[in-house]
Amino acid sequence: MRRRRLPIAVPPDLPDHLASLVRSTPWLLEALRAARDVDPPDWLVGGGVLRDLVWDHLHGRPPAPPRDLDLAFFDPARLDPAHDAEVEQALTARLPGVPWDAKNQAAVHTWYGRVFGGEAAPLTSSADGVATWPETATAVAVRLHDDDRIQVVAPCGLDDLFGLVCRRNPRRVSVEHYRRRVRDKRIADRWPRVAIIGPDRAQAANSRSRGVRKRGVTRRGPSQSARRAASVSMAVVASAPTSSRRRRTTSPVLRWAQPPTTRPSHQMVGPALPLVSNRAGRWGPR
């Protein structure tokens, strides 16, 4: 699965660089505005859409709109599948034409084993859910704040994303599921410069990464990335907004209150988010 490739120069300030790429992509920034308007509890947008954005950029081509746009939210008060559908309907009403895929991270443990096999422990927040996503390069999400700051959540760090490394995140996904994803998503065909790390070679890759830095490449496995992840897992990037005035919809949209969330202490880096929404006063849509 390995291939020879040219060294990748990893930007020194990865959260800022990711935020700049998001801001330079109009359709993605508009989707973040829509998510901010609908305001599902503890929402984050990420996964494949950010992987595609960065890897397309590093391959010198414009980003293509994704086949689905993953939005994670966290609402322990409602674990029924209908809640996901309601959030997707509200998002579609706010911004039609986007392939929204909303999942309540508080409910993942109720269906994960039935769909993928094995067991999944209950999650504690949307960020905790992002930390379980299948690859280290897709375990990344962002949130657009009311003041247009972009928050970057990257529990596994950003080195693999910007270093063009596809590596299994061992927290939840099985080896077989990872291999199937690499094959079905055509990682090697779509991004020829990506180094695909097989699960059985992860330990060897970690050892090699210690010497790669001298050649201008930064590669870290999940254990090595954890130290750097502490600086980016909850980073809030205060880059300049795209306009001097907020562009907000004037039509009524469904909104949800932000529930109290419990985040692991290692993810509380940078300014903490309010534990309740500043825009909604009670639970449920209004």
Residue 224: what pLDDT? 43
Closest CA to 84 of 94, 93, 95, 72: 72
Of residues 78 and 269, the one with the higher pLDDT is: 78
pLDDT tens profile 249-262:
333 333 343 333 33
Of residues 26 and 2, the one with the higher pLDDT is: 26
Residue 120: what pLDDT? 82
Has residue 230 got a pLDDT over 50? no
Three-state secondary structure call for residue 196? strand
Of residues 68 and 272, the one with the higher pLDDT is: 68
pLDDT tens profile 85-97:
999 999 999 999 9
Global pTM reads 0.72
What residue segments make up the domains of the chain, in order of their start?
A: 14-158+229-267
* CA atoms within 13 Å, Cβ hemisphere of 40: 35
Which residues 6+ apart lie within 8 Å of 144 measured at CB? Answer: 29, 32, 33, 35, 36, 150, 151
* CA atoms within 13 Å, Cβ hemisphere of 62: 7
Closest CA to 153 of 279, 249, 6, 266: 266
Overall average pLDDT of the 165-178 stretch: 93
Encoding tokens for residue 137? 């390069």
Encoding tokens for residue 272? 């903490």
Has residue 38 got a pLDDT over 80? yes
The pLDDT confidence band at residue 10, using thresholds 50, 70 and 90, is low
Of residues 282 and 197, the one with the higher pLDDT is: 197
Contact predicate 156/221, CB 8 Å? no
Which residues 6+ apart lie within 8 Å of 180 measured at CB? Answer: none
